[in-house]
Structure 1
């Protein structure tokens, strides 16, 4: 047995799942539009199914949810970055604020690669794509710049597809089980996307980014 395998998970300083969050029925904006962005933390074990966390929901299935967007994770560290960028909204930038299912520490958009496979609790998850923020985030926070800010910072968090169902709970470690060859970080995906937009090029097409969802395939 290797020295690594003898260590306890708590001794490895692995990335940690801080909170698990489930949507609660809510309305948002002046027109009281239904939304699932309000996701308070829950205690105890939560079942992870193929389409997401048990009890979670998406109001608009055309743009939210699905096999490649089953679970959404947002790094707790990014809240400090958001507060630095928009200090007058610091009191609004408290986890969970952006609609995340998982709040974590020890993982960021610059260290997580699309295609990464993580064991969390008894579930096996694969990073599938960055999160594209929508207008409901701006309405939820009460500021029209938050969505664009996260994209410009390349700090939007990421989605998972579920490879093996199981259960998770706050305090679980994220154990990296596999990283694909030639993988791109979540941040690198955004860098390329923003570059294509700046050149007014098509951002959907085909590029060899292993593990990337079909929604995010690029055209060089």
Structure 2
């Protein structure tokens, strides 16, 4: 991988409450010039659900800005107008760098820190509130363009304008585009699931997901993750 990937924006967020709900979120992240990156994420960056967001395997979130143009064309207003860098709560904003360019376990130098790709994002129902569309999480999942997370191998200061310098690629046959296709499209390909379950650099929860599919021959239920927190809200509010 030879391309130079510049961090055009560095973002972190404090907790806010979605309008008309009791649900807290850290998705509304603001630009900062610099922040210290530790094993749990950027200092000062908050999450509304610490059981499913943040932590060592999801310390840093990256969403490809390249996807926003397509989303603006596909979504109704005013949700389409939200589709600009930062809309998905990403910490890192870049251009020309997508799920096809990144492989499971890729290691990058970022400022003073060293980070490793741990897993793709698994969209949840909070996106339905963020965009005011009852199935926004499902739409993003179906697109197979969900963004991804890093774990932190070496803490350090990160600045806007730093570059992602590629250092290692232990799994060149596993770009995130392939992994996302296996997770949400060709979901029961036995040989691929065997490989996925044995990728040491993949987050433990996704290795466990692959193993469970192999054991049961079934795909896990996505309904709770995608919709549960918004089913009882009539007419989702636009933010």
Q: Identify the TM-score tier after normalising by the shorter chain.
A: 0.7 to 0.9
CA contact (8 A) 2:111 2:158 kept: yes
Correspondence for 2:35: 46
After TM superposition, the structure 1 = structure 2 runs for residues 3-22 of structure 1, keeping only pairs within 5 Å, are 14-22=4-12
SS for the counterpart of 2:8 is strand
What is the alpha-carbon distance in structure 1 between the residues aligned to residue 29 and residue 99 of structure 2? 21
Deviation at 1:124, TM superposition (A): 0.3
Q: RMSD value over aligned CA atoms?
A: 2.2
For residues 13 and 161 of structure 1, what CA distance do their matches in structure 2 show?
Answer: 21
Superposed, 1:56-205 pairs within 5 Å as 56-86=45-75, 88=77, 89-195=79-185, 197=187
Q: Secondary structure at the match of 1:107?
A: coil
Shift of 1:204: 11
Q: Which residue of 2 aligns with 1:9?
A: none
Distance in 2 between the 1:149 and 1:198 partners? 21
Residues 104-129 of structure 1: CA deviation (Å, up to 9, x unaligned): 11210111111000111111000000
Please list the CA deviations of residues 75-125 of structure 1 after superposition, one character each: whole Å capped at 9, or x if unmatched.
111111212322543211111101111111121011111100011111100
Is the Cα contact below 8 Å between 1:27 and 1:35 reproduced in 2?
yes
- Stretches of structure 1 that go unaligned for 5 or more consecutive residues are 1-11
Pair 1:212 & 2:208 matched: no
Per mean C-alpha deviation after superposition, the further-off stretch among 99-108 and 82-91 is 82-91
Does the residue aligned with 2:197 lie in a helix, a strand or coil? coil
Q: Quick one: structure 1 residues 142 and 178, their matched pair in 2 at CA, closer, same or farther if it must change by over 3 Å?
A: same
More helix by share: 2
Q: TM-score, normalised by structure 1?
A: 0.85
